[in-house]
Amino acid sequence: MRVLVTGGAGFIGSHVVEALRARGHEPVVFDVRTDPAADVRDEQAVARALAGVDAVCHQAAMVGLGAGFADAVEYVSRNDLGTAVLLTAMAGQGVRRLVLAGSMVVYGEGRYTCARHGVVRPGPRAVADLAAGRFEPRCPACGRELSAGLVAEDAALDPRNVYATTKLAQEHLAAAWARSTGGSAVSLRYHNVYGPGMPRDTPYAGVASFFRSSLARGEAPRVFEDGLQRRDFVHVRDVAAANAAALEADPAAGALTAYNTGSGEPHTVGEMARALAAAHGGPEPVVTGEYRLGDVRHITADSSRLRAELGWKPQVGFPEGMREFASAGMRGA
């Protein structure tokens, strides 16, 4: 299969290219890092790149929190306009298979249960609570403490920052394209991806990159809040394998299918920082109590659908992955 990989020279995209090549496919890299003209918003460049292509793996995106609106236009341009240009060209050239780099950020907060009211959806956390060190969301009905659980793909979607909003818009565009063309679209909702080749020293990198960059400078990783916020850290090679599995599958035509893509083993941010620091040889992390508006407290998802339907399962465990990442090479900003 000849597969156009947008963002194919980036962190995740480059691993996708390697995974596809290892499985006998022909990946075609489309990335401004290797060719300034390879902008997914450029209609003519995209049309040329799609020639002879059987499928598209769309990894190109502006990533990061996007908590404020200073970068909103750029996020929408790169992520949503770029996706619209790509899908329009695919529709015109008869390319009917798409795998999209989705994100768990479309859920907002994770799944919470109140002892009295059952499953609830807490609203955004208040500044006053965060400033006072009250980080756990409370039941919106009675104010009680909540128990956090796993989010399934059918959960309500609640993007809470600019980046999250653009990732959800990408899914809606892909779903509309699939309905219009009869094509098949898969969105892999990535969790916290980490691993070799992760970008360093950039505001758009993930928390694992921040910690690793600090350690490389001989500085202690700075852990926000109390370090007890839970995430699912999934290795980039496992994410690449999920993309290959999705491209080789036979998903429903005329619709978008979403799959949570995580390790299935939630860990706290503090736990990750300590594991990375220990593997690197220090220094120990510092829990700061600081916070970022737009961050959610807990977001871990159930990835069993991906395992059951596509036969995928993660191969890199948390201890092994952290040991590798502690000494792995990283990319420049």
Q: What is the phi/psi pair of residue 206, to 5°?
A: -85, 175
Q: How confident is the model at residue 65 (pLDDT cuts 50, 70, 90)?
A: low
Place of tokens 């009680």: 144
| Pairwise CA distance, residues 306 & 167, whole Å | 19
Q: How confident is the model at residue 223 (pLDDT cuts 50, 70, 90)?
A: very high
Q: How confident is the model at residue 202 (pLDDT cuts 50, 70, 90)?
A: low
For residue 323, count CB atoms less than 10 angstroms from its CB and return exposed for 0-12, middle for 13-18, buried for 19 or more: middle
| Mean pLDDT (the chain, rounded) | 94
Q: How confident is the model at residue 155 (pLDDT cuts 50, 70, 90)?
A: very high
Active site residues: 163
Q: How confident is the model at residue 295 (pLDDT cuts 50, 70, 90)?
A: confident
Is residue 203 scored above 80 in pLDDT?
no
| Pairwise CA distance, residues 176 & 329, whole Å | 39
Is residue 69 scored above 90 in pLDDT?
no
Determine the average pLDDT of the residues in 19-28: 98
Three-state DSSP state, 145: strand
Is residue 75 scored above 70 in pLDDT?
yes
Is residue 301 scored above 90 in pLDDT?
no
Q: How confident is the model at residue 283 (pLDDT cuts 50, 70, 90)?
A: very high
Provide the pLDDT for residue 66. Answer: 59
Is residue 170 scored above 70 in pLDDT?
yes
The more confident residue out of 201 and 186 is: 186
Is residue 82 scored above 90 in pLDDT?
yes
Tokens of 290: 């600081």
| Pairwise CA distance, residues 18 & 154, whole Å | 31
Run of H or E including 129:
helix 127-131
Query: Any residues with CB less than 8 A from the CB of 138 and at least 6 apart, and which?
Result: 122, 144, 145, 146
Is residue 67 scored above 60 in pLDDT?
no
Provide the pLDDT for residue 293. Answer: 82
Determine the average pLDDT of the residues in 17-42: 97
Distances (CA, A) of 12 to 6, 106, 160, 237, 251: 11, 19, 24, 8, 22
Strands in 26-30's sheet, in edge-to-edge order, are 26-30, 2-6, 55-58, 97-103, 184-190, 255-261
Distances (CA, A) of 203 to 62, 167, 183, 231, 299: 11, 18, 35, 19, 21
Residues 240-280: tens digit of each pLDDT? 999 999 999 988 899 999 999 999 999 999 999 999 999 99
Work out the percent of the chain whose per-residue pLDDT is above 70.
97
Provide the pLDDT for residue 204. Answer: 60
Is residue 206 scored above 90 in pLDDT?
no
With a threshold of 0.85, does the pTM exceed it? yes
Tokens of 152: 């399934």
230 contacts 158 by C-beta, under 8 angstroms: no
